[in-house]
């Protein structure tokens, strides 16, 4: 994973949001190819060596969203370099194409379908609990298989940025629903 991403990850432990401490073993440019992440609050830790970071309890299911990367790009409304976009569950099948549409934007693929590999602008995290801090993302696209994480994903999106989801938006999601139709919807994060 990219070293900058570690600033935006949170401990999966059942406690208030906490930062994680990175101990890199091996770097390839800005990518930490082997290392450890640990929580100073609860003592949780994980290690990786050559593969993606595994926070434990995540599943990687096959699947695709019913729209393409160009549509996701338009719905995210992101222009210009910098920051991070999360693609969650089967929405991460868009990562290779979205990477070319969002130059110099980091992509964190959370529980992506199995064919996706760590590389390029894409950093993979597998986890059974939401691994991203509050207000850490320029946008997020959440697949239907990960819809239980929609509220958490919206909290992780920066104010006024967009969350894209599949199916019907949850009624108690928060934020502002900007558009819905054709099995996809876009909500805007609030300024709270």
Residues that bind Zn ion (CB under 5 A): 11, 13, 39, 41-42, 44
Report the nearest approach of Zn ion to the CB of residue 57 (Å): 14
Q: Which is nearer to Zn ion, 46 or 156 (CB)?
A: 46
Least Å from the CB of residue 40 to Zn ion? 8
Comparing CB distances to Zn ion, the nearer of 14 and 79 is 14
Phi-psi category of 43—alpha, beta or left, where left has phi over 0 and alpha has psi -120 to 50? left
Closest CB to Zn ion among residues 13, 77: 13
**Half-sphere exposure of residue 76, counting CA atoms within 13 Å on the CB side?**
29
Q: Which is nearer to Zn ion, 20 or 122 (CB)?
A: 20
For the CB of residue 122, give the shortest distance to Zn ion in the complex, in Å.
25
Q: Rounded to 5 degrees, what are φ and ψ at 64?
A: -140, 155
CB of 11 to Zn ion, least distance (A): 3
Burial zone of 125 (CB within 10 Å; 0-12 exposed, 13-18 middle, 19+ buried): buried
């Amino acid at each position: 994973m990219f070293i900058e991403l570690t600033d935006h990850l949170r401990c999966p432990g059942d406690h208030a949001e906490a930062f994680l401490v990175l101990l890199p073993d091996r770097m390839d440019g800005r990518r930490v190819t082997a290392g450890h992440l640990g929580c100073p609050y609860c003592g949780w830790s994980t290690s990786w060596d050559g593969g993606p970071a595994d926070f434990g309890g995540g599943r990687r299911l096959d699947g695709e969203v019913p729209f393409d990367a160009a549509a996701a790009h338009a719905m995210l409304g992101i222009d210009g370099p910098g920051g991070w976009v999360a693609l969650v569950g089967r929405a991460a099948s868009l990562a290779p194409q979205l990477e070319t549409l969002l130059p110099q934007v980091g992509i964190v693929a959370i529980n992506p379908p199995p064919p996706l590999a760590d590389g390029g602008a894409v950093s993979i995290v597998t986890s059974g609990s939401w691994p991203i801090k509050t207000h850490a993302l320029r946008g997020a696209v959440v697949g239907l298989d990960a819809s239980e994480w929609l509220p958490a994903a919206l909290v992780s999106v920066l104010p006024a940025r967009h969350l894209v989801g599949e199916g019907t938006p949850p009624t108690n999601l928060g934020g502002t629903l900007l558009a819905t139709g054709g099995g996809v919807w876009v909500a805007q994060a609030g300024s709270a």
